Structure 1
């Protein structure tokens, strides 16, 4: 049985203030916890059922991570999943470290993406398309929100995030590079040519798009053409479409 202090501590990590205070966050589910253990994150503890410990004993032993036995009921009570029959881990957060662009690399920039599920999906999509760096506005939701971590399906271990003042970052760090922004009234994505020399792709807020201050710094505005009658696209889906077109073009040019 888990101690009251352990339960209180993990429950506190659902709140941003306490994640920042403790410098820690939680990860749920077998796949994400196993990817966490194989990453460069520092894992404080793994809470796991006896069945999980037996099934993955060689992995757990190799990482020498503290393990505490928990029941399915305890895991479901602590986490955000409706069902969790395996494990939950607590890991240390990373420092908010500056990210820069390498030659021929593409980076995502997110302006005020508020929904945790959307951010987690975008991280997963970025990982799929080989994007390892995302720069976020200070108002973008916290990467360590449990819903973000869950939606990323382990991709948070491979995609680096940097929170900053976007306008200042773009002004100071993007010279000579393409800055592509997603807008409703831009050039058709299907006609647009992505640079083979890399650059930045900016996605905006779920309701309001890219903010005015950042919009002024965009060098190329593109839109995903609407064929049907839907009012809008989810920002996670829109990001996937943007990255898919970018990756196919850039790969074809090399």
Structure 2
């Protein structure tokens, strides 16, 4: 069973300052936990019910430091979900390594102050689906290890490198005539009329403010996702994760 100190530690990880302090994060649910374990993310605590253990083989996987069998009542105490799962895992935050060769020869996403956890988690899933290996986030982008972000990734977090950094310095480091910086703007060229390259940065902006002025100045290729039919009244804008999916899809479509 879980001790009082273990319950205190795990519940504290709902706050970013304690995740940073302990370098730990929480994942809940069989698929999400299983995917992270299979991806060799080190597990500090694997907490589960007897029924879950009887039906799952990941219990015997390596890199699980502490296995704790408990009951639904205790899991409810540490869960952030309205309907708690039968398994909760506390993972060590992995080091994120930047593969410069991959970055220079492929597409990467840049998130400029994206605030909604669901949007970040969904964008990570989109990147994973379309084979994008790096996402660079501004310092003010929502924390990757927020429980809502983790749940929204549905395990894709284990396949994509997410790095928080100074976006201006990052872009200036890689930006060349052969390495474009894409962004979406109302005054941009219709994306379906553009010949898109297989490498570069794709910038997605804040939900309310869009791409910041500082980063706008570094964009080399402005794209526009047209509404349809032209001239008909539609929604004011697209959700940032929806826009990201349309943009990534068109980049990949042009590679076929």
1:234 aligned onto 2:239: yes
What does residue 193 of structure 1 align with?
A: 195
Q: Distance between the aligned counterparts of 2:135 and 2:126, measured in 1? A: 12
Shift of 1:124: 0.7
**1:200 match: secondary structure:** strand
1:13-41: CA deviations, max 9, x gaps?
00000000001100111001001111132
Residues 1-254 of structure 1 correspond to what in structure 2 (within 5 A)?
A: 1-56=1-56, 58-63=57-62, 65=64, 66-100=66-100, 102=102, 104-175=105-176, 176-196=178-198, 198-227=199-228, 229-250=234-255, 252=256
**1:109 match: secondary structure:** strand
Q: Distance between the aligned counterparts of 2:14 and 2:61, measured in 1? A: 29
Name the stretch that deviates more: 23-32 or 76-85: 76-85
Q: Which runs of 5+ in 1 are unaligned?
A: none
Name the stretch that deviates more: 87-96 or 13-22: 87-96
Q: Is the 8 A contact 1:99 1:162 kept in 2?
A: no
Shift of 1:192: 1.7
Q: Is the 8 A contact 1:101 1:107 kept in 2?
A: no
1:81-134: CA deviations, max 9, x gaps?
211232110011123544535254111111000111110010011111111110
Q: Number of matched residues? A: 249
Q: Distance between the aligned counterparts of 2:40 and 2:85, measured in 1? A: 25
Q: Distance between the aligned counterparts of 1:11 and 1:63, measured in 2? A: 25
Q: Distance between the aligned counterparts of 2:27 and 2:169, measured in 1? A: 32
Q: Is the 8 A contact 2:30 2:87 kept in 1?
A: yes
Q: Is the 8 A contact 1:49 1:72 kept in 2?
A: yes
Q: Is the 8 A contact 1:182 1:203 kept in 2?
A: yes
